[in-house]
Amino acid sequence: MKLLTKFNLILLAVFGVAALAISTIAYFFLVDNARGQVLADAKLMMASATSMRGYTTTDVAPLLAKNPDHDSRFLPETVPAFAATKIFSDLRKTYPDYVYREATLNPTNLADRATDWEADVIGDLRAHPALTSIVGEREGATERQLYLAVPLKAGADCMQCHSTPAVAPAAMIRKYGSANGFGWKLDETIGAQIISVPLSVPLEIAKEAHLRLSILLVIALVLSVLVLDAGVYLFVLRPLRTVSENADRVSKGERNVPDLTVTGSDEIAVVTGAFQRMRLSLAKALKMLDDEA
């Protein structure tokens, strides 16, 4: 087996192990990074939904309250959750994997009633009032989900509709009845804004980035081997081959072998210099034998 082949096998083994280690570490790093990216998008969406809720409460609802139909017909546009949910449904055209829910333990509209896992999340938020958000994972119907939950607290504006049926708007009672959505306490955590996304989304982002990284690592490995091969050939193998060829010619009795040029002070130069001195000594010895003869 030639020296260059042995050298390449060693390089491939070392680079292969290093590339595998880098690739494995990078994959977990990319998964964490992609998870953070997805959560950052979810937080931005959550902030948008929260802003829309506030805008509905302070700007839209007071204007709609002046509408002549307000007392005779319930206007869902006055409900902060309506605007936030509507905006998010439009946002899903761009981000189809993200789902937004305003889950409530005791909602007026039963469509907003918290499911079992949502109720557990709300329970955690109620048990820890200092928490501003919860990030977690859960098993979905088809795949594992990543979720971000923010507490919904009953503000003073909520008390106008959700304290007792007696003070609630008549139009709302006619639409939803008086059995649900009442008895809320001021500043009580009554639900949660929840954004969930399949865990496959950050994993797919990480896999794409990992594939690109792996391709770059392979390209870097090939280029490194080629560059090192060229260096080994130019600075090691070619000078050694020259010394080897000259040594072979001397061993066959040739006396007109040209001198070798010694440049530098590395190991190859030392070997070349030693051979040169040996050849000169051998030439002198042969000359002395010829003279004696």
Q: Where are the domains of the chain?
A: 12-207, 211-292
Q: What's the pLDDT score for residue 101?
A: 93
Q: What's the pLDDT score for residue 293?
A: 60
3-state secondary structure of 101: strand
State pTM to two decimals.
0.71
In tens, the pLDDT along 40-62 reads 989 999 998 889 888 888 888 77
Find the angle CA(141)-CA(147)-CA(151) to the nearest 5 degrees. 120
Burial bucket for residue 117 (CB in 10 Å: 0-12, 13-18, 19+): middle
Residue 133 or residue 68, greater confidence: 133
Q: What's the pLDDT score for residue 6?
A: 81
In tens, the pLDDT along 210-267 reads 999 989 888 988 898 888 888 888 877 887 787 777 777 777 776 777 777 767 777 7
Q: What's the pLDDT score for residue 68?
A: 63
The pLDDT of residue 102 is above 90: yes
Distance CA 276, CA 247 (A): 10
Q: CB under 8 Å to 58, separation ≥6 — which residues? A: none
Beta strands in the chain (DSSP E): 99-104, 134-139, 144-153, 189-198
Q: Mean pLDDT across the chain, nearest whole number?
A: 85
Tokens of 285: 């010895």
Going by pLDDT thresholds of 50, 70 and 90, the confidence category of residue 190 is: very high
% of the chain at pLDDT higher than 90:
28
